[in-house]
Amino acid sequence: MTHAPLKVAIAGLGTVGVGTVKILQQHADLIRMRCGRPVVITAVCSRDQNRHRGVDLSNYQWFSDAAEMATQANADVIVELIGGSSGIAKNTVEAALAAGRHVVTANKALLAHHGLALAKLAESKGVSLNYEAAVAGGIPVIKSIREGLAGNAVTRVQGILNGTCNYILTTMRQEGRGFDDVLKDAQRLGYAEADPSFDIDGVDTAHKLAILASVAFGVEVNFNAVQVEGIRHISATDIQFAEELGYRIKLLGVASMSLDGIEQSVHPTMVPLSAPIAHVEGVFNAVVTDGDAVDSLMQEGRGAGEGPTASAVVADIVDIARGIHLPTFGVPVEKLKPSQARPMNLHTGAYYVRLMLVDQPGVFADVAAALRDHKVSMESMIQRVREPGESVPVVITTHITSESGMLAALDAIAKLDTVTEPPRMIRIESA
């Protein structure tokens, strides 16, 4: 191993970029001892050179154009912390790889949409494309699956991959408040963006799940194969019923391997209280990986923020300093299999259904008939008492059934005159 310094240039000096600078400065001696060589920052890139960021940047070469820095800086590694699936972030990573420079990125959107092409470019140039920080912040989930579980045939990976959604669902449950009210608090506290769509509609989780599925199953990244459903429709009533039934509602990203393809979906899920992931609260993330040798492994930690995400960025830099070079998605690009998507209508499982029904004779018989006609078997039913003639919430849980049958039954139920709101369905996860 060479003892020459590893030279690093950082594009993007936002929260994570500044956190990366802090760790590399504050732990320089520790990192040198662990790597057997110094890791030094030589250049940074930001449009605003005069902004005070709380770290000393005076000894570094400054660039205002990240793509220019990718080829012109005196650096072995380009760290891309700009974000976005295209534009300057993509141009910077492509330029760095084409110039034969290692890349470390936290950009899940870029990898979800362009990961295969970027991995091919990195492989052709013999350099690393590392991205631990792109999924689950400070949790070393990529390293865990790609290296720690390399001797396992992974059959399933699932997780809470978005802290904003987990915070909202946790707070709704703990304080009995509605979705819109808690979302406003999350925005005020900085847990949610002014436009929270990316998080609450499940897109952020879907980006991360597409990456995890590729590493776990040795397939090409296929973001378009992920079925995505967010949490906007989850009500305080649903959360209350979930607790009564012995569940907690979590937004999960789930990828599973089967004989007829890979099922990838993001959706609110009723998780049994007996499952450890049900107790992951607030802004924390968790990932559960099932392997044939290890059985089930859960990792939990902070999924975002300056320290945790920067920690993952530095871990990738340290790997490069140590001379560790692995295929981007665990196997060479030419060995990645096409990602054959398993349609969600083939999914089988149990379901929670909330209906708003006019309380009048015969209404339950009509609902039961619709379920029977589509081969859906009820496991339990809860009805809230109200005055006759008013709409009442009725909750049904089902035995394991097909998703296609469940959706057809709900379509039939929605057409009943006694149903006053669209039925709400949430998938139930087994323990």
Residues 363 and 398 in one domain: yes
135-155: per-residue pLDDT in tens? 999 999 999 999 999 999 999
**Using an 8 Å Cβ cutoff, are 26 and 55 in contact?**
no
Total count of domains within the chain? 3
Say if 1 falls within a structural domain.
no
Q: Which of 302, 331, 356 is where one domain is finished?
A: 302
Say if 88 falls within a structural domain.
yes
Say if 324 falls within a structural domain.
no
Residues 223 and 372 in one domain: no
Q: In b/e form, how buried is each residue of 12-48, taking b as 16+ CB within 10 angstroms?
A: bbebbbbbbbbbbeeeeeebbeebebebbbbbbbbee
Average of per-residue pLDDT values in the chain:
95
Q: Hey, how many other C-beta atoms are within 10 angstroms of the C-beta on 266? A: 29
Domain CATH number, residue 12: 3.40.50.720
Q: Give CA–CA dist 422/75, Å, rounded.
A: 57
Residues 158 and 255 in one domain: yes
* pLDDT recorded at residue 380: 93
Residues 72 and 15 in one domain: yes
* pLDDT recorded at residue 91: 98
* pLDDT recorded at residue 90: 98
| HSE-up of residue 86 (Cα within 13 Å, Cβ side) | 1
Residues 280 and 152 in one domain: yes
Residues 149 and 72 in one domain: no
Q: Give CA–CA dist 66/89, Å, rounded.
A: 8
Collect all residues with Cβ–Cβ distance below 8 Å to 372 and sequence separation of at least 6: none
Residues 129 and 198 in one domain: no
Q: Which of 76, 107, 134 is where one domain is finished?
A: 134
- Tokens describing residue 40: 């030094």
Q: Give CA–CA dist 13/174, Å, rounded.
A: 36
* pLDDT recorded at residue 49: 83
Collect all residues with Cβ–Cβ distance below 8 Å to 238 and sequence separation of at least 6: 249, 352, 354, 424, 426
Q: Which of 99, 134, 169 is where one domain is finished?
A: 134
33-73: per-residue pLDDT in tens? 999 999 999 999 998 888 888 999 999 999 999 999 999 99
Say if 276 falls within a structural domain.
yes
Range of the domain at 369: 347-428
- Helix pair angle (87-98, 108-125), 10° resolution: 20
Residues 271 and 161 in one domain: yes
Domain CATH number, residue 386: 3.30.70.260
Residues 54 and 115 in one domain: yes
C-alpha closest to that of 266 among 325, 185, 333, 211: 211
Q: Kindly list the distances between the CA atom of residue 230 and the CA atoms of 202, 268, 269, in Å, as whole numbers in the listed order.
A: 5, 7, 11
Residues 160 and 130 in one domain: no
**Using an 8 Å Cβ cutoff, are 58 and 346 in contact?**
no
Q: Considering the chain, what percentage of its residues have pLDDT values greater than 90?
A: 88
Domain CATH number, residue 234: 3.30.360.10
Residues 152 and 284 in one domain: yes
Q: Give CA–CA dist 153/33, Å, rounded.
A: 35
Q: Which residues are catalytic?
A: 208
Say if 330 falls within a structural domain.
no
Say if 307 falls within a structural domain.
no
The partner residues of 78 in beta bridges, in order of sequence, read 9, 103
Say if 408 falls within a structural domain.
yes
**Using an 8 Å Cβ cutoff, are 410 and 391 in contact?**
no
Residues 152 and 289 in one domain: yes
Q: Is 352 helix (H, G, I), strand (E, B) or coil?
A: strand
Q: Give CA–CA dist 345/47, Å, rounded.
A: 48
* pLDDT recorded at residue 385: 67
| Ranges of the chain with pLDDT below 70 | 1-2, 385-389, 431
Sign of CA dihedral 376, 358, 177, 246: negative
Say if 214 falls within a structural domain.
yes
